Amino acid sequence: MSNIIEALAGALASSAARIVDLTHTLDPDFPVIVLPPEFGQCARFRMEEVSAYDHRGPAWKWHNLTMNEHTGTHFDAPSHWVSGKDVPNGAVDEIDPSVFIGPVVVIDCSKGAAQNDDYELTPEIIEDWEAQHGLIPADVWVLMRTDWSKKSGADYLNMAKDGPHSPGPTPAAIELLLKRNIRGFGTETVGTDAGQGAHYMPPYPAHYLLHGAGKFGLQCLRNLDLLPPTGALLIAPPLKIKGGTGSPLRVLALVTA
């Protein structure tokens, strides 16, 4: 192989490298974040037939789609949060595309999340992980594996009278990740923050701190159980939406066989 790209193509062809799809299907019935009803809401994914080989278009089928920037498996840009509104190049169309492909590490919190819906990713858990796998390098994606993506229906948002209950990071955990100067943070839940994340200080620490620092978010991921703790490559380019604060996207990971 004469160059690295050809080597990669060869590895994919020979299954020495594999692609793992970390994306949920965009489905009208897939949960979105639910806010108090007096606030504006995240639009659900909707698909409307424009024609289907019929009088509206005899030889073709196509649909109009409606959704929010933050519907389904999606990317959060810094401008999504008030703390990141003045971050330079903070909208999806302004972000340097070189960051859309990069290394990813996975912190497995699935055992704890199976026992506690409000399981927290803490600095201790991150440091334990680092004790095994080494310091989290700069400019990597960090994904919190909880196997939450295997839940469906009402169990996914897990809404109760006192709000949703799903795992997420504590403010201190995010601060530690920022100290490592990560590229972004991703989860299997509907947001990068815990279901009860409004009750931390600052509220919604992942959103507030990450985006304030110009970092990115990914949420509603799946198949994180198919990724190694280190050594995979994440491909996560959002749509190039002018001034967009995020985007539904296809998230892929490259892993060695």
Partner 1 sequence: MTQSLPFPPKRNPQKPTQVPTVPPMVRSRAALGLGVMAAQGRFGLQVCAQCQAVQYPPRDACLKCLNDDLPWQDVDPTGRVLAETTIRVSPEPYFRERMPWRMGSVKLNAGPVVNCHLHGEVGRGDMVRMALKLDKAGQGVLIALQLEGSENMQDDPVLRAMSCDPKRRRVLITDARAPMALALTQALLNAGAAHVFLGEPEAWRRWPERAAYAGMENVSIVPLDVTDVSSITKLSAEIGGKVDILVNTASFTRPGGVMGNDTTFARDAFEVNTLGLMRLAQGFGPAMASRVQDGVNSAAAFVNILSVHGLMPDPAYSAFGASQAAARSITQSLRSEFRGSGLRVINVYIGAIEGDPWFSTLPPPKVTPNAIARATVQGLVGGLEEVTCGDIAKDIYARWQNDAGLLEREITGGGS
Residues annotated as catalytic are: 80
235 in Cβ contact with 97 (< 8 Å): no
Distance CA 28, CA 202 (A): 32
Q: Tell me, rounded to whole angstroms, the distance of Cα 104 from its chain centroid.
A: 12
- In the bound state with partner 1, the residue whose beta carbon lies nearer, of 5 and 39, is 39
Question: Closest approach of Cβ 140 to partner 1, in Å?
Answer: 32
Count the site residues for partner 1 by CB under 8 A: 21
Helix, strand, coil % in the chain, rounded to nearest 5: 25, 25, 45
List the end-to-end C-alpha distance of the chain, in Å, as a whole number. 19
Distance of alpha carbon 156 from alpha carbon 147, whole angstroms: 11
Which parts of 128-167 interact with partner 1 (CB under 8 A)? Answer: 152-154, 156-157, 159-161
- Please give the structure tokens belonging to residue 72: 């389904």
Any idea what DSSP says for residue 238? P
Contact with partner 1 (CB under 8 A): which of 3, 5, 15, 28? 28
**8 A C-beta contact, residue 251 and residue 120:** no
For position 34 contacting partner 1 by CB under 8 A, the verdict is yes
CB of 181 to partner 1, least distance (A): 36
* CB-nearer residue toward partner 1: 34 or 235: 34
Among 40, 58, 88, 97, contact with partner 1 (rule: CB under 8 A): 40
Nearer to partner 1, 48 or 96 (CB): 48
Residue ranges in contact with partner 1 by CB under 8 A: 28-31, 34, 38, 40-41, 44, 46-49, 152-154, 156-157, 159-161
